A and B are shown apart, each in its own frame.
Chain A
Amino acid sequence: MATADSGFKGVWVDLLNPLNQDLSINHKKLFTHVQTLGAKGVEGVVMFGHAGEGASFSAAERLVAVKQLMQQGVAGKDILLHVGFSNVADVVQLIREASPLGLKGCVIVPPYADSGVTDQGLINFFGHIVERTKDIATRIFLASQTSPSTSDLNPRVINEVLSLHPHAFVGLIDQSHNANHTLEWIRSFMAQLPVYTTHDLNAHVVANLGIHSGISSYANVIPHIMVHMVTSTQASKTSVAGNKIGTEDQRLEAFDRMIEHLPEVPALKYLMAATYRDSDWLRVRPPLATLNMDSQEKLSKEYKKFNQSGEAS
């Protein structure tokens, strides 16, 4: 069952994972990265989400990584763990195994399926998870998929799931990159549960509604900007030409433009490698691949310009 004091504030990072040559997680570098983010104002980490290449990691690998971080000094209350799998058994097992660690919570998503998924099927999927974990103390966040699909959450499914299991969930996480979708969830469900967005460009929109919390993949590389965007109450201004005015807004949009045409995770990892001057950060797990040399060279030049413009501002 859900426990009290479950929401979170500030920026939580959709954490990238540094990998060893054999593509296992480099736990020491991950801990250093987490500490560095903490010193730059980040409140917590979300492990094995989109940026953390969650789909490429088994339940056992996820659990080991969480335990390693905690052994090195990260508190469980500062960790959210993605436990998404396309079968109920693996989701339930990971929630149960993570429960004693005292994490901030576990994030579940709809199963990825080729076809044939119905609203009732999704309601049953989440119902089975709730039934099989209701005897343990845990906090479960319900998240949408990162890309639109026929098997994603929709308002009817959410309403039905929340109605059937009113105390099972502690928050909704919209992982779509669609501001209107996020606003629709806020309008529809905020009275029942806190709603969080993972879309970095939505951060200020949501902050202007008084919601100063969010999950950010860009915060791996630009934590200061994302902390400012999420925690600032200053409404963003717009010029007569419709362009955003305000240094942090412009910097965030410039950052987004720099990587929007590239696969996000390899691009962010390239920028981490450049920031830390450590090529180990380039590694990704298949089916992702590192950026090709042309993309790396182009991104390198643009990142230098981006950093220089920040120093000048």
Chain B
Amino acid sequence: MENKNAWYLIEQDGLHRAISNEDFSKLAPDSYVLHQVFATHREALNEMSRLIKLEIQDVKDEVNKMAPPKAN
């Protein structure tokens, strides 16, 4: 089911990347986590942007949990 025009959304060294099929095929096994495969570069970038926003929100939520409660 290989699609040579596909775009791969991966996580590598703590960073998200959207890469082409050609670049993906050059990656060393186990050097990345594959999230999803998209038909176009734009779709892969949109998903990357969405995931980054979610992760920023996760961090905000964690920080807010650690903040002392507001005094009334």
Q: How far is the CB of A309 from chain B (nearest CB, A)?
A: 16
Nearest-Cβ distance from residue A78 to partner chain B, whole angstroms: 5
Q: Which positions 43-66 of chain B face chain A at CB distance < 8 Å?
A: 43, 50-51, 54
Q: How far is the CA of A211 from the CA of B6 in the complex (A)?
A: 31
Interchain CA distance A34-B5 in the complex, whole Å: 14
Let me know if A42 and B1 touch, CB within 8 A: yes
Contacts of B1 in A (CB 8 A): 34-35, 37-38, 42-45, 74-75, 78
**Of the residues A35, A44, A75, A277, contact of B37 by C-beta under 8 Å:** A35
A150 is an interface residue with CB less than 8 A from chain B? no
A57 at the interface (CB under 8 A from B): no
Interface members, chain A 40-62 (any B CB < 8 Å):
40, 42-45
Cα A36 to Cα B44 in complex, Å, equals 12
Per the bound structure, the CA–CA distance linking A294 and B4 in Å amounts to 42
- Contact residue among B39, B50, B51, B54 (Cβ-Cβ distance under 8 Å from A35): B39
Cβ–Cβ < 8 Å partners of B12 in chain A: none
B34 adjacent to A35 (CB under 8 Å): no
User: What is the bound-complex CA distance between A277 and B8, given in angstroms?
Assistant: 17
Prevailing SS type, chain A contact patch = helix
Interface of B, secondary structure class, is mixed
What class of interface size applies to chain B in its complex with A? 10 to 19
- Does A4 touch B at the CB level, under 8 Å? no
Q: Does A20 contact B (CB under 8 A)?
A: no
Contact yes or no, A39 B8, CB < 8 A: yes
Q: How far is the CB of B37 from chain A (nearest CB, A)?
A: 4
- A72 near B39 with CB under 8 A, answer yes
Q: Which of chain B's residues has its CB closest to A311's CB?
A: B33
Taken residue by residue from 2 to 43, chain A's Cβ proximity to chain B (1 for < 8 Å, 0 otherwise) reads as 000000000000000000000000000001111111111011
Q: Does B2 contact A (CB under 8 A)?
A: yes
Q: Which of B1-56 contact A (CB under 8 A)?
A: 1-3, 5-6, 8, 24, 34-39, 43, 50-51, 54
CB nearest to B36 among chain A residues = A36
Q: Look across to chain A and name the residue whose beta carbon is closest to the beta carbon of B54.
A: A277
| A45 vs B1: C-alpha distance when bound (angstroms) | 10
B contact residues around A74 at 8 Å (CB): 1
Whether a CB of chain B sits under 8 angstroms from the CB of A276 is yes
Q: Are B39 and A39 in contact (CB under 8 A)?
A: no
- A73 near B39 (CB under 8 angstroms)? yes
* A33-B48 Cα distance, complex, nearest whole Å: 16
Mark each residue of chain A from 60 to 93: 1 if its CB lies under 8 Å from any CB of chain B, else 0: 0000000000001111001000000000000000
In the complex the two chains form, what is the Cα distance from A36 to B5 in whole Å?
Answer: 13
Q: Is the CB of B3 within 8 A of A36?
A: no
Pair A73/B3 contact, Cβ less than 8 Å? yes
Q: Are A32 and B51 in contact (CB under 8 A)?
A: no
What's the minimum C-beta distance from A197 to chain B, rounded to whole angstroms? 21
In the bound complex, what is the Cα–Cα distance between A37 and B35 (angstroms)? 10
Chain B residue, CB-CB nearest to A38: B1
- Taken together as a complex, chains A and B put the C-alpha atoms of A33 and B1 apart, in Å, by 12
Q: Are the CB atoms of B34 and A277 closer together than 8 Å?
A: no
- Check A38–B51 contact: CB distance below 8 A: no
The answer to whether A40 touches B34 (Cβ under 8 A) is: yes
Which of B5, B34, B54 contacts A39, CB < 8 Å? B34
* 6 extra interface residue pairs, beta carbon distance < 8 Å, beyond A37-B1, A39-B34, A276-B36: A32-B43, A39-B6, A40-B34, A42-B1, A73-B3, A74-B1
Instruction: Report, nearest first, the 8 A-B pairs whose CB atoms are least far apart.
Output: A38-B1, A35-B37, A36-B37, A36-B36, A39-B37, A78-B1, A32-B36, A73-B3
